[in-house]
Structures are given as structure tokens and as C-alpha cells.
Amino acid sequence: MINSSGRIPLRPLGKVLAARQRGETTDAIEQENTRQRNHEIDSREHTKAKSRLVVLAAVFFCLYGVLVVRMGHLAASDPQETQIQSIGSSIIAQRANIVDRRGRILATNLDTHSLYAETAHLTDPRKAADGLVKIFPDLEGDQLYKDFTGKRKFLWIKKRISPEAYQAVHDLGDPGLRFGPREMRLYPNGRLAAHILGGASFGREGVHSAEVIGVAGVEKTFDERLRKPSVSVDPLKLSIDLSVQAAVESVLGSGMSLLNAK
């Protein structure tokens, strides 16, 4: 007899009463039921262990299959040199030009560099600090030297430098002074139509790359269009005419000067 829990009772009442009526001992009944219960427990544990082994074997088989497929793919593909600048290139040089209705450039990009220092590689921190102050008068030599000899391993010096400054820093010859590629926004016509074009600045920025994003005017309004990789090769054409805009601003400027307008 099996109870409601599914387990075999050690002393089933029916067998015990019958054995007592026959004058037999009930120990044998209890021992037999104990043996059966232990056998049932061992059988369940064996089934669980077997199931776990099957699942584990399936997992290892899948992993091994993935490894074999990947090795086969690598063996069949042509070897290629690793592109170190691939991540940076995905950020740089994605912003489209802005042109007037005749296709004349209103906003474009200029390749430049950033300047940073890896202090562990500086051969002469004092000389490097003094040399940078001569190139960039707005820097403080003592503070630079303190930063170069402190605990900082990385130090931004200039986020954007001119080609002339790049060459001057390069001539210092210190391996700890390093350059990162940058792309800045250039407006060839100066302040002309500045209130329309707006401006741009750096967004995401790292050592090897920087993202130019619009912060005002057309640059901000059409920022997604200007930065979208699929269309960034095509310039954004505005309805204004560069010559007409220049004439209008000139006349208005003269009128303001004549009337002493604010």
C-alpha cells in the first residue's frame, strides 16, 4: 500500500495486523519496506543525475559545434590586417558640408589635431613644460610641470591645435607629447550668415576620435541629417544665396552705423 504522498509506508497497517494474527514478527515487513523505499530513492536520484549529464553533454556539444564553425569560418576567410583607427574613423569625418542655393560652401570640415601627454613617457618634464608655454602662452609652466610629475598618467593639454602648433610641438621631440586626430567645423565666410548657420562643438570625444555636433542654428536643427553616415557625403543645401546675404548684411550694417543703432 502506498500513502497519499507516494511513498511506501514502513509499517503498513494491513500487513502488520495480518502478521500479528498469524503470530509472526513484523520486523521483516518493516525491513522489506525500508529496502523498497531506499531502492525507490536511489532510482529517482539516478534518473536526476542521468538527466543532468544529458543536459551538460548537450551544452558541451553546442559549444564545441560553435567553436568548430568559427574555426572553419576563420580558415576560409582571407587574412586582414587589424584596423587600429576603425573605431575613431566611425566618429570622425561624418559631418556633411552646408552650401548655399548655388552650391557655394557655407560650412565645412578642417582636419586638425588634439594634444595630450602620457606622463610616463615624458623624457624631460621640465623642458616639455617650458616648450609648451612658448607655443601656447595661455598655459602655465609651473602647473604643467606639476601635472607632468604628479600621479596623473594622462593629461589633456589642448583639444584642438593649429597645423603650425602641431609642427612646433612635434619639434620638441618628447615622446610623451602625443597627438589625436580631430575634425573641426570651419566657416570660410567668417561671420556671414552666422545667425542662420549657428555653430558646432565636440560631443563624444576620445584620444583617437571626436564627434562634431550642432549646438545652434542650422547646425543644430539639421544635426541628425548632417551626422547621418548614409547621407553625410551629400551637402545640405540651403535656400539662401551667399551674394545676396552678403549684400543684405552690408546694407543693414551701414544703416545701423549711420543711425547708431544697437
- Three-class secondary structure assignment of 13-42: HHHHHHHHHCCCCCHHHHHHHHHHHHHHHH
- Give pLDDT tens digits for 193-223: 999 999 998 887 777 777 888 999 999 999 9
Q: How far apart are CA 213 and CA 223, in angstroms?
A: 7
pLDDT of residue 11: 54
pLDDT of residue 164: 92
- Give pLDDT tens digits for 70-97: 887 766 655 443 333 343 444 445 689 9
Domain ranges of the chain: 1-73, 94-259
pLDDT of residue 174: 94
156 CB-near residues (< 8 Å, 6+ apart): 114, 115, 116
pLDDT of residue 82: 37
Place of cell 566657416: 187
Cβ–Cβ under 8 Å, residues 207 and 180: yes
pLDDT of residue 2: 45
Cell readout for 145 is: 610641470
pLDDT of residue 89: 44
pLDDT of residue 179: 93
Stretches in the chain below the pLDDT threshold 50: 1-2, 4-5, 10, 79-92
Cβ–Cβ under 8 Å, residues 164 and 113: no
Per cent of the chain over pLDDT 70 is 77
Cα–Cα distance list, 166 to 111, 137, 253 (Å): 12, 15, 38
pLDDT of residue 81: 38
Please give the model's pTM, rounded to 2 decimal places: 0.55
Q: Which CATH number fits domain 94-259: 3.90.1310.10, 3.40.50.970, 3.40.50.1580, 3.40.50.800?
A: 3.90.1310.10
Cβ–Cβ under 8 Å, residues 210 and 230: no
CA triplet 106, 88, 129: central angle to 5 degrees? 90
pLDDT of residue 75: 67
